[in-house]
């Protein structure tokens, strides 16, 4: 894996984070509706703990957004071309360190169904299921929790 740096996102990152979401192969087909029209805004980046993973030439590899109240991993995306290279693991480990620094004892994750196993491999525990919320989400989603201790 090329060198990866994780750093705080800035408002000017909003468009490239939105493009990463919109180009995600994980959200094609039946899952496309959940990201249809979704945009990461500069205000969102300013209000939340949003961190980006970039390579040595500042190419975006992925990002996550940690909400503090209530504690939740709101967004987590890895660019399709670097999946399987450890970027997602780095982002989640970083998120957990940020959660600990904020004195959070746990972080909720409402998972994209195909991503559940990824989160479980990194230590999340399934605690339930979130019901569909049509029209954007027509399927149940796994609810997981990371503990930070």
pLDDT for 133: 87
Helix (H, G, I), strand (E, B) or coil at 112: coil
Q: How far apart are CA 109 and CA 139, in angstroms?
A: 16
Summary count for the chain: helices (H), strands (E):
4, 7
Q: Residue 136: which of 110, 109, 118 has the closest Cα?
A: 110
Q: How far apart are CA 122 and CA 119, in angstroms?
A: 5
Task: Identify the architecture of domain 5-147 in CATH.
Answer: 3-Layer(aba) Sandwich (3.40)
- Is residue 2 over pLDDT 80? no
Q: How far apart are CA 43 and CA 31, in angstroms?
A: 26
pLDDT in tens, 78-100: 999 999 999 999 999 999 999 99
Q: Residue 140: which of 121, 122, 126, 123 has the closest Cα?
A: 126
- Is residue 1 over pLDDT 60? no
Domain map (residue ranges) of the chain: 5-147
Query: pTM of the entire structure?
Result: 0.94
pLDDT in tens, 24-71: 998 888 888 889 889 999 999 999 999 999 999 999 999 999 999 999
Cβ atoms within 10 Å of 113's Cβ, excluding its own: 14
pLDDT for 49: 97
Q: Token digits for 93? A: 């480990």
Provide the mean pLDDT of the chain: 95
Q: How far apart are CA 113 and CA 18, in angstroms?
A: 21
127-139: average pLDDT:
90
- Is residue 121 over pLDDT 90? yes
């Amino acid at each position: 894996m090329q060198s990866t740096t994780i750093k705080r996102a800035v408002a000017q990152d909003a468009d490239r984070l939105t493009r990463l979401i919109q180009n995600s192969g994980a959200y094609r087909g039946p899952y496309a509706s959940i990201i249809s029209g979704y945009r990461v805004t500069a205000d969102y980046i300013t209000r939340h703990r949003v961190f980006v993973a970039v390579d040595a030439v500042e190419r975006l590899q992925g990002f996550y957004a940690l909400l503090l109240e209530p504690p939740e991993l709101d967004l987590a995306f890895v660019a399709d071309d670097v999946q399987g290279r450890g970027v997602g693991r780095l982002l989640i480990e970083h998120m957990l360190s940020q959660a600990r620094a904020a004195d959070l004892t746990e972080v909720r994750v409402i998972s994209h169904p195909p991503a559940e196993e990824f989160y479980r491999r990194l230590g999340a525990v399934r605690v339930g299921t979130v019901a569909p919320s049509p029209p954007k989400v027509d399927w149940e989603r796994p609810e997981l929790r990371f503990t930070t201790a």
